[in-house]
Amino acid sequence: MHFSIPDTQELNEGNGSTFIGYNIHINGVFHCTVRYKQLHNLNEQLKKEFGNEYVPSFPPKKLLPLTGSQLEERRVLLEKYIQTIGQDLKLVSSELIVGFLLSAQQETTCEKKQDITLDIYTMNNYQIPVWVSTYDRTEQVLAKAFKYINLPLEYLQYFSLYLVKKDNSGEIIILRKLLDFESPYMSHKSLKDANKILLRKSYWDSAYDFELMNDPVSLNLLYIQAVTEIEKGWVLANKDAKSKLTALQVTLAKKEYIEFAQKLKYYGFLQFLPCYCDYPKSQTKVLIAIGDQELSMRIIGSGQFVKEGSFKVTRMRCWRITATHNKQEMPANSRSNSSSTLELSFEYLMSKDKLQWITISSEQAILMSVCLQSLVDELLMKKNDIKRRTTPNVKGNNWSYMKRDGSSHRISIENVNIDNEVDDVPEPKYQESFSIKKLQEKFSSVSFKNGREFIENHAFECIGDDDL
């Protein structure tokens, strides 16, 4: 998960005095504005829950008012603090963090709590009107959509809600996946580019399809998504394959259609807009797709694809997101990346003892990073035989959210009851601790920067000599 605090803003406290608000962006999108004392209060509660040694260091308090340079230093340190939390699965999925971010969004948007109808769409534009609260978090809204279409709640872990928009040609562009610390209603309303909230599957391994095909409703959702993505050219099919698919479609042989589609190139991948890469040479125009444990790259030339290659996720040692903000053009509380240049860089093991950095410049760089991370998480979960789970780690502790004015309210997250075993699912435990630093001896020629920008790839340790 990519956290950032690109800027601050001065806000009025209501009594004539002012305070500094820190604008938190999550996965490239503005989420909330909070005060230093709110984050400090969160840190104290995290230390109480997880212990001082497990929680990252927090910027210290200052007795005197901050100068301009001190304010910038605090912004950077707070950004590093929340980015460290965002890369720790145990912390970021805890009830305390989920409740804090949800409450901060509610306070920032100043939305009143009320019941409304929220429209959710399937891939074929079927509308699901869901009666929700404006404060409902993502999993609650998803569960209500499941109830509307009679889909068992045990399948919640396989589907997600996405914010999408259409370009000038009518093509669907996936902006991002909605996460459980936000209200789909508030996130959709605040993001001007988002046209719809879309329901689609959210896993990478097509083996999960077979479990979902046992239920007629989830089978239909998979079928709709497969048909739509083939029609849009996201999944590649030659003339013979299309004829076969058409015949299956006419007879409504949905299982057979999906099973045949699984064999096609880019089935189960997420497609991205054309962008630029510095491999094999600078300013190479490419089309990126992510899925099946790889990042696929098709080089675009003379109006068609002239070369294709793939980068296995297990051979990416780490990656990072670089965002260059133009603060003169970017207003405080900005909700877009129109004034930012985004890059996804990953360090790839080209051959034994040879590492190379590859950089992709794209407005969807953060979404690419999120996809890589979820692909790695799924890969490691299957390797360690851990069941999929989306519900936060709710323990019922009496945690509180401090508001900007200093008052507090209790953080309370209601679980979506999927089955009686949901609380018995163990947390992910990997076989051994992994760190980029441990590999420095093996690749001594590679220099590393200290800081928050690197995302360590815990799947990299799975690679063996036979893979080189």
Record: fold of 270-380+430-467: PH-domain like (2.30.29)
- Looking at residue 368, its pLDDT comes to 94
Q: Out of 91-105, 304-318, 319-333, which region has the weakest mean confidence (pLDDT)? A: 319-333
The pairs formed by 202-208 with CB atoms below 8 angstroms and a separation of 24 or more are 202/158, 202/159, 202/160, 202/177, 202/374, 203/158, 203/378, 203/388, 204/268, 204/291, 204/292, 204/293, 204/374, 204/375, 204/378, 205/268, 205/378, 205/382, 206/262, 206/267, 206/268, 208/158
Statement: residue 348 has pLDDT above 50: yes
| Whether the bond into 280 is cis, omega within 30 of 0 | yes
Q: Out of 109-118, 167-176, 279-288, which region has the weakest mean confidence (pLDDT)? A: 167-176
Those residues with Cβ within 8 angstroms of residue 264's Cβ, 6 or more apart along the chain or in another chain:
230, 235, 236, 237, 241
- Looking at residue 68, its pLDDT comes to 82
- Looking at residue 467, its pLDDT comes to 53
CB 275 within 8 A of CB 288: yes
Q: How far apart are CA 28 and CA 176, in angstroms?
A: 9
- Looking at residue 193, its pLDDT comes to 74
End-to-end alpha carbon distance in the chain: 29
Those residues with Cβ within 8 angstroms of residue 93's Cβ, 6 or more apart along the chain or in another chain:
392, 393
- Looking at residue 170, its pLDDT comes to 74
- Per the CATH hierarchy, to which homologous superfamily does domain 1-203+388-417 belong? Phox-like domain (3.30.1520.10)
Question: Where are the chain's structural domains?
Answer: 1-203+388-417, 270-380+430-467
Kindly state the percentage of the chain with pLDDT values over 70: 82
- Looking at residue 120, its pLDDT comes to 96
Q: Which two tokens stand for residue 59?
A: 């910027």
- Looking at residue 297, its pLDDT comes to 95
Statement: residue 340 has pLDDT above 80: no
Q: How confident is the model at residue 380 (pLDDT cuts 50, 70, 90)?
A: confident
Q: How confident is the model at residue 182 (pLDDT cuts 50, 70, 90)?
A: very high
Mean pLDDT, the chain, as a whole number?
84
Statement: residue 98 has pLDDT above 70: yes
- Looking at residue 396, its pLDDT comes to 53
Q: Please check whether the two domains, 1-203+388-417 and 270-380+430-467, share a CATH topology.
A: no
| pLDDT tens sequence across 325-338 | 544 444 444 444 44
Write the single-letter amino acid at 182. Answer: E
Section 202-215 average pLDDT: 95
Section 259-269 average pLDDT: 96
Phi and psi of 437, rounded to 5°? Answer: -60, -30
pTM of the model: 0.84
- Looking at residue 140, its pLDDT comes to 95
Q: Which two tokens stand for residue 78?
A: 């707070």
Determine the angle formed by the axes of helices 254-261 and 239-250, rounding to 10 degrees: 160
Those residues with Cβ within 8 angstroms of residue 359's Cβ, 6 or more apart along the chain or in another chain:
277, 278, 279, 343, 344, 345
Bridge-partner residues for 25, per DSSP? 4, 30
| pLDDT tens sequence across 22-45 | 999 998 889 999 999 999 999 999
Statement: residue 411 has pLDDT above 90: no
Section 147-173 average pLDDT: 91
